[in-house]
């Protein structure tokens, strides 16, 4: 398969780097059956260009045949381009692959300098100077992201709090698991769901780990546009605050690097509508509940199928982490 991708990128090089451009240093960055990421470069008349290929391999389940959450890569690419036009920091997308490229469902984006590893972002001394600015930057970016109009021909699902609770409770009930904190969370969040806001474009996975952070300038790019939909803008704000994305810095509720007020101030200053902390905490609790159900399912799949891989068991143990987060939020009086 590596040879197939390398050959296809060789043929694609002139489209990306001009006549006579050649492929350099193709390297697969991630594994798994659902998605591939390749780093490569093309050198041509205008010099070297460092690029990233995001590709759904032929063996993967097509987005339209999955659970309806992941979008096709062409939609990802179109949304990234639209977000960039609205002032959201994103990688440039110079090419969306067609059948003639021989890469299947894929697109090419520019490589952005920075770090994505959450634990380094919250703990590495290189990010000490920029860390206090990140929460406000995230608020400003989300305010701009939530103004993005859908590109022509793009349709996305709509999901409010009730729909998310319905979906994940069905998954939880079908699992046969019985965990008191999860049971309490479903009941409490249904009873305290805030009034839905006007639906906007929601990134769906805006968190530490999906942000490229530069040690001098801060947020350099918003990545991983696999789960966009229309929904409550507070969903993105709350998801960023889920304890699992703080990477050991529970004292910094926003991504492990900042405080709620900085996030909300940044959101409001960049044109976002006034969002209360109470609403952010609701979506944070719902985010922890969703991630807890996902962790639980991963653990149970490992329990049923010992060949599912130890990674699922490692992630599965984090369900207790989400339960702690839920309890802390409920203790605040949500």
pTM score, whole prediction: 0.92
- The per-residue pLDDT for range 40-96, each reduced to its tens digit, is 999 999 899 999 999 998 766 555 434 557 899 999 999 999 999 999 999 999 999
Residue 32: both structure tokens together: 């798994």
**Is residue 195 pLDDT above 90, yes or no?**
no
63 and 206 share one domain? no
Q: Which of 68, 86, 110 is the last residue of a domain?
A: 110
Cβ atoms of 130 and 216 within 8 Å: the answer is yes
**Is residue 269 pLDDT above 60, yes or no?**
yes
Gyration radius from the chain CA atoms: 20
228 and 157 share one domain? yes
- The per-residue pLDDT for range 93-138, each reduced to its tens digit, is 999 999 999 999 999 999 999 999 999 999 999 999 999 999 999 9
Q: What is the pLDDT of residue 151?
A: 96
Q: How many domains does the chain have?
A: 2
Q: CA-CA distance, 89 to 96, in Å (whole number)?
A: 19
- The per-residue pLDDT for range 129-168, each reduced to its tens digit, is 999 999 999 999 999 999 999 999 999 999 999 999 999 9
90 and 202 share one domain? no
**Is residue 313 pLDDT above 70, yes or no?**
no
Q: How many Cβ atoms sit within 10 Å of the Cβ of residue 115?
A: 16
Q: Which of 110, 133, 154 is the last residue of a domain?
A: 110
CATH of the domain at 132: 3.90.1200.10
Residue 24: both structure tokens together: 């350099």
- Domain holding 313, by residue range, is 118-331
Contacts of 46 (CB under 8 A, 6+ apart): 17, 18
Contacts of 215 (CB under 8 A, 6+ apart): 114, 115, 126, 127, 129, 130
88 and 138 share one domain? no
136 and 45 share one domain? no
Q: CA-CA distance, 157 to 159, in Å (whole number)?
A: 7
């Amino acid at each position: 398969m590596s040879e197939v991708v390398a050959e296809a990128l060789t043929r694609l090089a002139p489209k990306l780097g001009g006549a006579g451009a050649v492929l350099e240093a193709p390297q697969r960055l991630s594994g798994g059956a659902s998605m591939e990421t390749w780093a490569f470069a093309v050198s041509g008349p205008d010099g070297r260009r460092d690029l990233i290929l995001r590709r759904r391999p032929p063996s993967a389940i097509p987005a339209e045949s999955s659970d309806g959450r992941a979008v096709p890569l062409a939609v990802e690419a179109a949304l990234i381009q639209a977000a960039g036009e609205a002032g959201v920091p994103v990688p440039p997308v110079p090419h969306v692959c067609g059948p003639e490229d021989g890469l299947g469902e894929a697109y090419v984006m520019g490589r952005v300098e920075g770090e994505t590893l959450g634990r380094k972002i919250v703990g590495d001394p290189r990010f000490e100077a920029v860390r206090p600015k990140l929460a406000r930057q995230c608020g400003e970016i989300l305010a701009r992201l939530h103004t993005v109009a859908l590109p022509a021909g793009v349709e996305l699902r709509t999901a409010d709090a009730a729909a998310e609770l319905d979906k994940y409770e069905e998954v939880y009930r079908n699992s046969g698991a019985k965990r008191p904190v999860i049971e309490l969370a479903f009941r409490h969040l249904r009873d305290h769901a805030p009034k839905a806001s006007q639906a906007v474009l929601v990134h769906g996975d805006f968190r530490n780990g999906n942000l490229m952070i530069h040690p001098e300038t801060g947020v350099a790019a918003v990545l991983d546009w696999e789960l966009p939909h229309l929904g409550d803008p507070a969903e993105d704000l709350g998801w960023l605050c889920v304890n699992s994305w703080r990477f050991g810095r529970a004292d910094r509720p926003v991504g492990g690097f900042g405080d709620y007020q900085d996030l909300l101030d940044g959101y409001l200053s960049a044109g976002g509508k006034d969002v209360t902390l109470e609403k952010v905490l609701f979506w944070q609790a719902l985010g922890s509940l969703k991630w807890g159900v996902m962790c639980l399912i991963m653990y149970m799949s490992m329990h049923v199928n010992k060949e599912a891989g130890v990674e699922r068991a490692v992630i599965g143990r984090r369900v207790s982490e989400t339960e702690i987060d839920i309890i802390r939020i409920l203790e605040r009086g949500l």
